[in-house]
Copies of this chain bind each other. A is one copy, B any other.
Amino acid sequence: MDGIEISMIRQIMSQAQGCVNLGLGEPGFPFPEVVLDEAHQILDEGRIGYTPNAGLPELCRQIHGYHGALESHKICVTSGSQEALFDVLFTLVGPGDEVLVPNPGYVSYPTVTRLAGGVPICYPLKGDDDFSFSPAALEKRISPRTRVIILSTPSNPTGRCLTLKQLEEVSRIARKRDLVLVSDEIYREIHYTKMPPHSITEASEDAVVLSGVSKMASMTGWRLGWVLGPAEVVDRVTVMHQCSSICASTLSQRAALKLFTPKGRQEVELQRSRHSDNFRFVTEWLDQHLEQPYVRPEGAFYLMLSVHSVDLESLDVSLELLKDGVATIPGSAFGSEGEGYLRVSFAGELSSVEDGLSRLKKGLGRLMLRNTVSVGARPDHPGRTS
């Protein structure tokens, strides 16, 4: 087992007590009231038993409709989209199979690939190019051992979305090379563009989609996600899911059904508008107060802030900033292409985000000053005279 990237985040988070948390991977808002009311009612029935392995049939139908999926597509409801990723990779990846993962990208893509016996091969998203997705750069990494391509749109950590053209291009590549596309779309409801981000389902009939309610409805602790894809894949995923957890929480499944009602859709809209408020606040604040540039996100609730101007590795910048009382995640935790950036989460309450940004500014100022002072004499680097 390999957990280098995981331990980097853990190293930060274990020292982050008392800090303002801009490292968080979850929204800080209350979950929707329709969910609250429904959950109270279900509890009062007094019995919460198993559901079918693939999930409540009515929930599967709603999810199917929500994605505008094809007749030939099926759903398997999982304990969060993390289990969706796990079950899919453990179903599709055999020993030595290569999985193309974005760099920078969600820490679990390479880790779960390795656990499944596969080999993660990174395709780069270049910071110089605002972490844009390049089908050509991806295609270069395909070998005879490649089996799966993981896409992430909107991306954690960059917040960038794939265009329809990029999705069509990568889907053409996958078809040509007989590869399975797995598109992680857990952040799709959270966007700062007029139109919602495109889904791989618009470009491919064979792709597998990972999603869930955690981010769209501030329901991370409810552990409710799903896999959508061609029946022959999802049937096998469902066997894996049955073996790994029987079914997702029944209360979560039943309560989440309400998100697909008109009232539930409205509450998801409301969550989106709260994220948009945060987005506007954070980007305006950064534009005004910070000299460091950042990559403007189109979705999700993170942004990649350049710390190239600080003469330290991003891990050390994050560790230093803890002294200023703010927790961020070093970009290198998401892969080598994340080096030189910090992932700043703006999903918390606005007042807390504002506080965190002030501390960030103060901390970066302090580090920049030290830069200037210590040119030619870096007391923090062992082996050099100070």
- A residues with a Cβ closer than 8 A to B are 1, 3, 6, 25-26, 28-31, 36, 39-40, 43-44, 46-51, 78-80, 82-83, 86, 90, 95, 108, 111-112, 115, 117, 218-223, 236, 239-240, 242-252
How far is B26's CA from A240's CA once the two chains are assembled, in angstroms?
Answer: 21
A-B contact pairs, 12 of them (CB 8 A): A29-B47, A31-B46, A39-B43, A40-B40, A49-B220, A79-B245, A82-B245, A86-B245, A222-B250, A222-B251, A244-B245, A245-B245
Q: Is B244 a contact of A51 with CB atoms below 8 Å?
A: no
Copies of this chain, complex-wide, total 2
On chain B, the residues within 8 Å of A31 by CB distance are: 46-48
Given contacts A108-B243, A243-B115, contact A48 B249 (CB under 8 A): no
Sample of 9 more A-B contacts, CB < 8 Å, known A82-B243, A251-B252:
A1-B236, A1-B239, A26-B50, A43-B43, A49-B220, A49-B221, A223-B247, A245-B245, A249-B252
Q: Is the CB of A246 within 8 A of B223?
A: yes
Pair A82/B221 contact, Cβ less than 8 Å: no
Bound complex: CA of A207 vs CA of B252, how far in Å?
33
A223 and B248: CB pair below 8 A? yes
A243 touches B48 (CB 8 A): no
C-alpha gap A94/B80 in the complex (Å): 27
Which residues of B are found within 8 Å of A236, using beta-carbon distances? 1
Chain B's closest residue to A36 (CB) is: B43
A221 touches B111 (CB 8 A): no
Docked-complex contact B46 and A30, CB < 8 angstroms: yes
Residue in B83, B221, B242, B245 whose CB lies within 8 Å of A251? B221
Q: If A31-B46, A50-B220, A219-B48 touch, does A83 touch B244 (CB 8 Å cutoff)?
A: yes
- For the complex formed, measure the closest distance between the CB of A347 and the CB atoms of chain B, giving whole angstroms: 11
Bound form: Cα–Cα A105–B40 in Å: 37
